[in-house]
Amino acid sequence: MNNELTDPYGRVITSLRISITQKCNLNCIYCHQEGKNGKPRREISLDTIVKIATSATEFGIKKVKFSGGEPLMRSDFEDIITALPDLKDISATTNGVLLSKRAASLAESGLYRVNISLPSMNEENYGKITGSPHSLSRVLDGIDAAIDAGLTPIKLNMVLLKGINEFEINDAIHFVDNYNGNVILQLIELMNFKNVSQYMVDINNVEKMLESRAAYIEERKMHRRKKYFIDGVEVELVRPIDNSSFCANCNRLRITSSGKLKSCLMRNDNLIDIKEEATADEIREMIIKAAKIREPYYKNNPNRLWAKHEITNIA
C-alpha cells in the first residue's frame, strides 16, 4: 500500500508527532501540556508506537517527531527509536536538561536531530520561565553533547515573553553564532493556551527588527515562515497566531501520550483512541478516519483568514 493520506481540505499528511509521556522535569509558564488529554492513562507503549509508525509508512508518512512532556523522561526512548520502521527523518523536541548524558546513545539508536527549548540564557529569567534556574547549565551541556553526537542542525526554541525574555533576542543571536552553523534560532510567538496573554509580545515589532538587521530573507511556503540571516546566524520566526497559512499547510497528525490520534493541536473534541491491543489493520483504519475528520482550526473563525487556495501541500 502506498496511498497518499489527504484530508477533506486537500492537505497531504506527511508526518507524525508522537507525545510519549506526560511527565516533565520543568514547569514552564507557557506549557500547553500537549501530552495531557482527558484522564491520565498508562503511557503509550513501545509496541503501540511502532505499530502506529509502521502503519503510517504505508500511507507515505516518513517523518516522526517525538515530544512529551519531556521525552527523555522515558528510559526506553532509545529502544523506541531503534524499533521504528525505516523513516526519512526522526527528530525530538526536548528541554535539554537530560540530554548531555543521552545524546550519543540517542544518535546511535537512529535519532537524526533535536529541537531544544532555551527560553533564556540568563539564569534568573530561565528560572522564572521554567521554575528551575539551576537547570540552565545542564541544558547548555546538552547542546554541546548534541552537536558532538551529530544531532544537527539543532533548533533552539525561544518562546518570546513580554517582560521576561523579549530583550534577549540579540543575546540569543550572539549565542547561536558560537556554533558555526550547527544551531538555528527559532523565535516563537506565544500561544495563549493557559491564559498567559500578559506575556504576549508584539510580534510585528519583532518581525520589523529582524527585517532591519537581516542580510537577506527567505520565506518557506509552508506556514509562511520567514528565515532571517543575521550576522551569519539563521533565525526563524514562528507565527502560529493569525497565520492562516499555518493551518492551511498543516501536514501533521499527532499522537497523545495516552495513545489517541489527534488531528489538530488546538482541538480535543475529535480524538480517536488507539487501544494497546489494536491490530495493524485497525490502526490503519483509525489513521484514515483521523485524516477524514481533519479541519483547519481557523476555518470558521471570523477573525481569521481562510481560503482553500492557500493550501500548497508542501511535504
Whichever domain contains 77, its CATH number is 3.20.20.70
C-beta of residue 12 within 8 angstroms of C-beta of residue 291: no
Q: What is the pLDDT of residue 314?
A: 30
Residues 1-18: tens digit of each pLDDT: 458 899 999 999 999 999
Q: Between 241 and 271, where is the model more confident?
A: 271
Q: Which of 103, 144, 99, 139 is nearest to 123 (CA)?
A: 139
How far apart CA 224 and CA 144 sit, in angstroms, is: 31
Please tell me what DSSP assigns to residue 197.
G
Q: Name residues whose C-beta falls within 8 Å of residue 46's C-beta, 6 or more positions apart in sequence.
A: 76, 79, 80, 83
Whether 260 has a pLDDT exceeding 90, the answer reads yes
Cell output for 24: 516533565
103 domain-assigned: yes
Domain membership flag for residue 119? yes
pLDDT in tens, 196-246: 889 999 999 999 999 999 999 998 766 668 999 999 999 999 987 666 677
293 and 270 Cβ atoms separated by less than 8 Å: yes
Where is pLDDT greater, at 247 or 236? 236
In angstroms, how far is CA 201 from the centroid of its own chain?
Answer: 21
Residue 95 lies in a domain: yes
pLDDT at 306: 41
Give yes or no for residue 315 having a pLDDT over 50.
no
pLDDT attached to residue 225: 82
1 domain residue, yes or no: no
Where in the sequence is the domain holding 99, given as residue range(s)? Answer: 15-310
Mean pLDDT of 185-205: 90
Instruction: Using pLDDT thresholds of 50, 70 and 90, give the confidence band for residue 35.
Output: very low
The pLDDT value recorded for residue 300 is 54
Strand order in the sheet with 216-220: 216-220, 225-230, 233-238, 183-188, 154-159, 113-117, 89-94, 63-67, 15-19, 252-255, 260-262, 272-273
On the question of pLDDT at 276 being above 80, the answer is yes
Half-sphere exposure in the Cβ direction for 176 (13 Å, CA): 30
Going through 20-78 in order, the beta strands assigned E by DSSP cover 63-67
| pLDDT at position 304 over 80 | no
* Structural domains in the chain (count): 1
Paired residues of 262 in beta bridges = 254
Q: What is the pLDDT of residue 39?
A: 55
Query: Is position 215 within any domain?
Result: yes
Q: Looking at the domain assignment, is residue 48 inside a domain? A: yes
Q: Within a domain: residue 6?
A: no
Q: What is the pLDDT of residue 163?
A: 97
Residue 265 lies in a domain: yes
- How many CB atoms within 10 Å of residue 73? 19
Rounded Cα distance, 180 and 302, in Å: 44
CA-derived radius of gyration, the chain: 19
Q: What is the mean pLDDT of residues 137-165?
A: 98
The residue written with cell numbers 558560537 in the block is: 178
Beta 260-262 vs 272-273: how paired, if at all? antiparallel
Check residue 36 and give its pLDDT: 52
For residue 307, pLDDT over 60 is answered with no
Q: What is the percent of the chain with per-residue pLDDT over 90, rounded to a whole number? A: 77
